[in-house]
Chain A
Amino acid sequence: MKANLKPAVRAKYVAAAVVGLLGACIATGAQAASATATATATVLTPMTISATTNMNFGDLVGGNGTVTLSTGGALTKTGTTPIPTVNTNGSAVSAAMFTIGGTGTSTFAITAPSTVTLTGTGSSSNTMTLTPFWEVTATATATGVTSGTPATGALTSGAAFIFVGGSLPVAANQAADTYVGNVQVSVDYN
């Protein structure tokens, strides 16, 4: 700005500059716009499952008929021949137990085979067919059911337990052998 301007002219320049600044500020205020979107994600603890206890029917003999091992580990039979009370394999009669881990009180899907083939360790041609059933509990104690294949379960404080029993037909002429097989249980968040 020239120093020799008349006061009136100088005042006009100053006024014009102020108006220009104000206009720029107003214009800038009108241009700004913003919005906030909330991004959320729930990170679940991956589910875990481990076989805590194997399933063991102990010793059986032909004539026991169809033997049912409850999820609580109790044996019943349809045949007339009593079930031997001592196990030659040295392991206690027990249902299988799986320990489940995950997040909070999430529900989860359960999949398990409808039948499991047990194969003789003495001769692979010896087979038996196990039909598993199971129950889901919040604590590590089974109620002892003899049927049921629930497709879902729910965690309690991030934990649940699946007890697997089964029914096992013993043929009258079932070959003497020790039969083994695997019961695979899978879980996944619903």
Chain B
Amino acid sequence: MPGMTARPESRFMNAQIRRAVGGLLLGFVASAPAFAASAKAQASVTIAEAVHVNGLIGVPVTNADLIAAWRAAPATNTGMMPLRLPSLLMPAQAAAGPAFDPAAAATLAQAGTDVDRADDGVLQPGLVAAISAIRYESGEGHAAQLSITVAFN
């Protein structure tokens, strides 16, 4: 019967469709790595030199400590210049020290001043070139604290 030839054609068409779909699927699988994406974020940290001022970092300091550091003997190449190492002490912590004297600290703040300006507060070359002791009263979102900044060269 001549009409029988239509069925193999139909099967052929179905096979073509199946192959086309399969090809599409294979194409997506093969191209899957194209969906991957990556990005880099930089990680950074600055390690500050702390060798020469260990006595002033992280522990309650006495006025004697500050004055001794302020009057430290000159030396050369003992640190990066300018480098500022701040140490923030809560008043309660500072008061727990053996000889905390807010008035003396204020005096030091006036004498050492800040070192934001290159010509301000930089003493003679030495282990410690400048000290800034500033008291901050509580307010504006922060607790009261004593900020001691030490710069040395």
Contact = CB atoms under 8 A, between A and B. Distances in A.
Contact of A80 (B35, B49, B58): B58
Contacts of A116: 43
A141 interface: no
B90 to A, nearest CB: 11
Name which of B14, B18, B24, B38 has the most chain A CB atoms within 10 A of its CB.
B38
A37 B41 contact: no
Interface string B28-56: 10001111111111111111111100100
Interface string B73-93: 000000110011111100000
A183 B46 contact: no
Contacts of B37: 46-49, 186-188
Interface string A17-54: 00000000001101111110101010010111111011
A27 B4 CA distance: 10
Nearest to A35: B14
Contacts of A88: 46, 48, 83-84
- Chain A contact residues: over half helix, strand or loop, or mixed? strand
B72 interface: no
17 contacts: A34-B10, A35-B10, A46-B35, A50-B39, A60-B46, A61-B47, A63-B54, A80-B58, A85-B88, A89-B44, A89-B46, A118-B45, A132-B43, A176-B83, A178-B45, A182-B43, A185-B38
Contact of B45 (A33, A168, A184): A168
Contact of B39 (A37, A80, A128, A185): A185
B48 A31 contact: no
Size category of the B interface is 35 or more
Contact of B42 (A61, A63, A87, A182): A182
Contact of B85 (A44, A48, A61): A61
Contacts of B35: 44, 46-47, 188-189
Interface string A151-190: 0000000000000101010100011111111111111110
Name which of B10, B14, B40, B79 has the most chain A CB atoms within 10 A of its CB.
B40
B111 interface: no
A59 B43 contact: no
Contact of A175 (B2, B5, B47): B47
B38 A54 contact: no
A96 B44 CA distance: 10
Contacts of B43: 54-57, 96, 116, 118, 130, 132, 166, 180-183
A59 B17 CA distance: 65
B58 A82 contact: yes
Contacts of B34: 46
Contacts of A166: 43
Contacts of A176: 47-50, 79-80, 83
Contacts of A182: 40-43
